[in-house]
Amino acid sequence: MSLLTTTVGSFPKPPYLTKARAQHARGDLTHDQLRPLEERATKEWIAFQEDLRIDILVDGEQYRGDMATYFAENLDGCEVSGLVRSYGNRYYKKPVVVGELARPGAITVDWWRWTRGLTEKPLKGMLTGPYTMMDWSFDEHYGSREELALAFAKVLHQEARDLERAGAKVIQVDEPALSARTDELDLVVKALGVVTRGLSAKTITHTCYGNYDRVFPYFNKLPVDQIDLEMSNSGLDLLGRFRREPLKKEIAFGVIDVHTHVVETEAQVRERIERALETFEPAQLYIDPDCGLKTRTVEEAQAKLRVMVAATRATKDARGLE
């Protein structure tokens, strides 16, 4: 098996679901009325991935809002702030840690199990990593970034164990904040190690937006089986460094830029895959988009994924790869 295809996690929500979520936020729609629409959107995304014959599926996170507040809402000791201004006129909500963190029950397992019932293909379990949860939260309780990251790690480990018990063979722990403070990379490794300790599932960390140059020496130290990297948005500029300092684990290599409306051509994506194959072994190399696709429209995301899969298939055929 080589050049397996997958995606990073989130897919865009169809307009009927975006509308229903807004109604729910205003109190005009109950949770019980929202859920069937989340299920419908999830079913549609699973069917799309199966039709394309993507190898490792995701549920598309149709029931999640923000990747950090989704977990915050489901933990004891954690609340969610009102809208906070980030930059320009963008507002978002932040987790607020007000007490000792604890997990009253499984957070993602119910959706994972429900979605698993729709497909025979491997389905990723998806967690937001402890370092990112810490970095994106207001801390009113722990008073130490390390203690807070490790407290998140402890509850996320419980969640990972529950996913594994439910049957998840692949568990992804997203750390988009990985390179937020390059003096804390040892803490990233330590906290991630708490989450993945003792798991038999394949573990993945996705990261993006980073100063990868400073992070690079840590890729081999991250306690996961696979790293999932944004590569295309930066023009594949890390490839040279990977050739000099080989990666001793699997890589999911982003061949689709998620920040642009423009749909890549098959030839463009094929060239990116060919360049990746100059550095990585086919069995070590997974093909996916740079990041989650939730910021694109459904049509853009689907068009981009079609090109990704077609380019991967063409590369495999040309090289006689299974």
Q: In the bound complex, what is the minimum distance in angstroms from residue 209's beta carbon to Zn ion?
A: 7
Distance of alpha carbon 161 from alpha carbon 142, whole angstroms? 25
E strand map for the chain: 4-5, 76-85, 91-102, 125-128, 138-139, 170-174, 202-207, 226-229, 250-256, 285-289
Token pair 């109604």 is found at: 23
126 binding Zn ion? (CB under 5 A): no
Cβ nearer to Zn ion, comparing 250 with 290? 290
Strand partners, 91: 85
Cβ nearer to Zn ion, comparing 5 with 128? 128
CB 126, CB 58: distance < 8 Å: yes
Q: In the bound complex, what is the minimum distance in angstroms from residue 12's beta carbon to Zn ion?
A: 15
58 binding Zn ion? (CB under 5 A): no
Stretch that binds Zn ion, among 57-65, 129-137, 202-210, 242-250 (CB under 5 A): 202-210
208 binding Zn ion? (CB under 5 A): yes
Q: In the bound complex, what is the minimum distance in angstroms from residue 15's beta carbon to Zn ion?
A: 24
Cβ nearer to Zn ion, comparing 180 with 291? 291
178 binding Zn ion? (CB under 5 A): no
E strand map for 199-256: 202-207, 226-229, 250-256
Those residues with Cβ within 8 angstroms of residue 42's Cβ, 6 or more apart along the chain or in another chain: 59, 60, 62, 63, 111, 114, 115, 118
Token pair 């594994």 is found at: 164
Stretch that binds Zn ion, among 124-132, 239-247, 264-272, 286-294 (CB under 5 A): 286-294
Cβ nearer to Zn ion, comparing 177 with 208? 208
180 binding Zn ion? (CB under 5 A): no
Q: In the bound complex, what is the minimum distance in angstroms from residue 237's beta carbon to Zn ion?
A: 17
Distance of alpha carbon 318 from alpha carbon 322, whole angstroms? 11
- Binding-site member from 291, 293, 307, 308 for Zn ion (CB under 5 A): 291
Distance of alpha carbon 273 from alpha carbon 267, whole angstroms? 10
Query: What are the residues binding Zn ion (CB under 5 A)?
Result: 208, 291
